[in-house]
Structure 1
Amino acid sequence: MQEIKLNDIADSLIIFNKITFDRILKSETPSDSIALYTFYYYTAKWQGTNQPKCTTAYVANGLKWSESRVRKAKKELLDIGLVEDITSKDESGKIIGHFVKVNYFSLSTLKETHTIENPQCGIHDTVEKLETNALKEYIKCLKKEIEMLKNNNLSEREEKENFDIINEYKKICVSLPQTITLSPLLKSNIKTIENKYSFDKIKKVFKKAEASDFLKGSKGFKANFDWLMKDSNFAKVLDGNYDNKQAAKSAYDLSVAEKMMLEEM
């Protein structure tokens, strides 16, 4: 599995540090200020700049607010210093765009000039990296999130692999018990088999078990999934120790197999 790094998830998170929140809570209507600042933050994320093009009408439509409510909340953010109005002009001084600079916002790109091919950010606007936001390179909370993501991804992968093997067993070993309880010990045994053998080898063992009269109960014992997933048993089945033998030609004594079986039980 590819290693998850801080920057892999930073672009998917909206994080406020305590100082930012403290400032917002001092505003006249903190709920509106939080909603508007979050919307600016979100828009900055998908536009890839901390100076997104975010008009009053666009915000009003997105938040389902009236434009007057947007202007009021924006004024509070302007007064606090969390946003700034930015006007972009061409060389002749003509206004070519209005943008909202979102402060306390960090991006991995530093001073990357946006060209005419990326007009939503203006011709002369640049992406700046401010150090007051929670999305810095080494943040403890992100490291914790990464560990959670790693564990979740690993768990999901293991569950899928377990399901694939169990499904293959049930499909091939129709004569063997089909009830399987995934105990911690069984999960550990499955993982050992997966790490040691290819999926083709695992299917081969299932086919051998299904073809073996002894493992299907001809002498009273019947193998099951848990038994097959024990490393020592798996190896013996793979080596052919429980294959059916022609009585007249085989040098293999079935009593030996029975003895081995009893030792494993």
Structure 2
Amino acid sequence: MVHSLTTSQGEDGSSRVLVGERPQFGAQFSVATTSVLQEQLESCSQLLELEPGSKWTLLTSVLLMQAIDRHRYKVETMRNLEELLQVDPLRSGYYRDLESRYVVEYALEAAKSLYEIDLANSNLTALYHSHYMSIFQRVNLSSNHLARSLPRLHALQCCQVLTLDNNEIKSLEEFPALTSLRILSLRDNLISTVTQVDHLKHCLNIGSLDVTGNPVETEGELTDAVRAVLLFIHTLNGKRL
């Protein structure tokens, strides 16, 4: 774990010093152990030459590469996971989630700022390691598949701007209380009833909400429902109230 310090300006214009921990994933093995793992990986490569598309060999290779040197084998890891999705579609959910875990880990390790993180268009099916995102004030998770990961957003207690556009979200029932949240974008999801807004009542400080592109956008009662629940709301779907 690496400690990191940075300064940022909040949505209210104030300056802040952010101190956090930059995670480092992956285990550290002895030279001897790494050598053994490398030999096993080479054996897997030979097996794949004899039997291309072997799902167990492909998966074993992924796990070995992550153990040996996850950065050196990043491209190969993702390529093997994509191949697994093709040869073993019955376990696609597991492979997608494993891929999501690695994508988040690489993004967290590469993050240059403790102020914001951008995971848009990452094909995420699960939000792993959300506790490491607790310091970020801006989080972009748009264009993923995170409808079932809303409870994991609870860790984002410093988040002021959260983008969840295009995530196939139908319900906000499990949306957590995020008291620092000021701007929430839920564009192009599948929210269809105004009652879903009630589930945002614990996000006390939301001032801007965007549900453009959802079925609920055309509901005549939307504005009144939002005003009743979000007491500090001033902007809805990009328009001042």
Q: TM-score range by the shorter chain?
A: under 0.3
* Higher alpha-carbon Rg: 1
Higher helix share: 1
Higher strand share: 2
Higher relative contact order (CA 8 A, sep 6+): 1
